[in-house]
Amino acid sequence: MKQVTYEGLTFEPYITRETIEARIKELGKDIMRDCAGKTPLFLCVLNGAFAFAADLFRACEDIDAEISFIRLKSYEGTGSTGVVKEVLGLHENIEGRTVIIVEDIVDTGNTIARLVNDLKAKNPAEIKIATLLFKPEALQCDVRPDYVGFSIPKKFILGFGLDLNGMARNLGDIYMLKED
Ligand code: IMP
Ligand code: MG
């Protein structure tokens, strides 16, 4: 693995695809254990969570489950705008169901807090949050992810679905912004 460059910024290897893959399998086991006898609806938050959701969903193959997709956006460049807008809605009836929100990363928590709030109004049985990455030091909201792949420092990262203005989502490994 070597450094990659986007928009003149340099990123260093941070988490390998093998490590990510192994961790997602563990999360799948946790979810299958907690959801035995339920039929959870996985709700993948596009665009960033698509890669994680695809792997996590298949890591849960021993339970009955559904997956659907929602799109929200709150980020521009490397700093949170704090503005959360819903772009693509939810069409499933989630009343009485176990919903597992699948996010790429929880940073300030604004995105997930807004989504949890919107979903609660639809009376699900329970809402769980699965996130590949979590920046505890950046958290500004009262949300606690239930399934966390990796807790990381408050640094900008990309790859494995995470982007910089739309680029780098196709990197198989995760990279961190190099500071000098
Ligand atoms: P939050 O609302 O501040 O928690 O931000 C959540 C969204 O911001 C995520 O779903 C990502 O799309 C984006 N985001 C947060 N941190 C990063 C990062 O380090 N790299 C790329 N995108 C990020
Ligand atoms: Mg996202």
Ligand 1 atom with least separation from CA of 157: 19
pLDDT of residue 87: 45
- CA–centroid distance, 108 to ligand 1, in Å, is 8
Three-class SS of residue 96? coil
> End-to-end CA distance of the chain, in Å?
20
Residue 145 one-letter amino acid: P
Q: What is the pLDDT of residues 58-70, one digit of tens each?
A: 999 999 999 999 9
Q: Residue 117's domain is classified under what CATH number?
A: 3.40.50.2020
Positions of the chain with pLDDT lower than 50, given as ranges: 87
Distance 179 CA to ligand 2 centre (A): 23
Q: Which domain holds residue 145?
A: 4-177
**What does the pLDDT look like over 115-142, one tens digit per residue?**
898 899 899 999 999 999 999 999 999 9
- Ligand 1 first shell, C-beta below 6 A: 48, 74-75, 80, 103-111, 156-158, 162
Q: How many domains does the chain have?
A: 1
pLDDT for 83 equals: 57
- The pLDDT assigned to 111 comes to 85
Give pTM, 2 decimals.
Answer: 0.92
Going from the Cα of 170 to the center of ligand 2, the distance in angstroms, rounded, reads 14
C-beta separation of 178 from 18 below 8 A = no
